[in-house]
Amino acid sequence: MNQIDNINHVGMAVRDLAVTAARFEAMGFQLTPFSPHSGAWKPGEPVQKLGSGNRCVMFANNYLEILGTENGDEPPPRLANFLNRHQGAHIICFNSEGPSVLDEQLRGLNIQTSGVIPLQRDIDTPDGVRTARFERVQFAPDDSPEGYIQAARHLTPDFIYQPRYVTHANGCTSLSEVLVAADDAAAFAEKYGRYLGTSAEACGDLFQFRLPLGSTLTVVPSRQTPNCFRARCCRPCLPSSPSRSAHLTSPRSGSG
């Protein structure tokens, strides 16, 4: 049974969170307040502060995460590793309501995983600060040159998906599509098919996975990346890697 039903979020690493947030606000997005991360890197390890946090562009059932440090602090190792490569998209997180089952399925396919590990962050809510909790599993940590690929389950979804944050002045309503550009698109489509438990739909040279809750993962040959962006009337979501981008949908203009 397929344990993945949506793209949960795309994560971008940035050097200056305040500057980046201002750019997104100027484009008509509403961002959540800064939320610091705590978590563990291996099953059974204690939860501890990770030195990073985020501000997010929220939609009804997924979001764009802008990952950085608060007040320009020195980035922790994981964030520093992202930024040493480039500033922009690094994380694709799928949604799964059964991360333990998914972990077992992936291991059964001889795909290395992190195991199921905890994550939490403090969230500002109308009733005060609350702790949002997650379970997550990373896919193929040593065989994912395109980024940090994982699936997560929200244990406290009401803290994350607050109605006051999902409306944007520019009319965008969802993170509808993620593009993964690869020199060997067919091989990447086969790899993601194993993660997702389904086969891609071939559309010419593109490979698309249409997930049950409405989002799409599209694997694109690297040489066609500029044409794909133009066809969707959008640009990458910041100075992005040539290997990942998110597509945000607006009912007014088609994209934003």
Averaged confidence pLDDT in the chain: 87
Is the Cβ–Cβ distance between 151 and 8 less than 8 Å?
Answer: yes
Q: Percent of the chain having pLDDT more than 70? A: 88
Residues of the chain with CATH 3.10.180.10: 4-165
pLDDT for res 256: 31
Residues with Cβ within 8 Å of residue 127, at least 6 apart in sequence: none
Is the Cβ–Cβ distance between 79 and 68 less than 8 Å?
Answer: yes
Q: Rg of the chain's alpha carbons, rounded to an integer?
A: 17
* pLDDT tens profile 121-140: 999 999 999 999 999 999 99
Select from 3.30.70.20, 3.65.10.10, 3.40.50.300, 3.30.720.120 the CATH code of 174-249: 3.30.720.120
- Which is the CATH superfamily of the domain at 4-165? 2,3-Dihydroxybiphenyl 1,2-Dioxygenase, domain 1 (3.10.180.10)
Residue with the larger pLDDT of the pair 141 and 73: 141
Give the tokens for residue 146: 């395109």
Cα–Cα distance measured from residue 75 to residue 81, given in angstroms and rounded to the nearest whole number = 9
Instruction: Say what the pTM is.
Output: 0.88
Residues of the chain with CATH 3.30.720.120: 174-249
Looking at the predicted structure, is the pLDDT value of residue 245 above 70?
no
Which amino acid, residue 76?
A: P
* pLDDT tens profile 79-138: 999 999 999 999 999 999 999 999 999 999 999 999 999 999 999 999 999 999 999 999
* pLDDT tens profile 164-186: 999 999 999 999 999 998 899 99
Helix (H) or strand (E) holding 215: none
Structure confidence at residue 251 as a pLDDT band (50, 70, 90)? very low
Give the tokens for residue 114: 């992190």
Is the Cβ–Cβ distance between 177 and 216 less than 8 Å?
Answer: yes
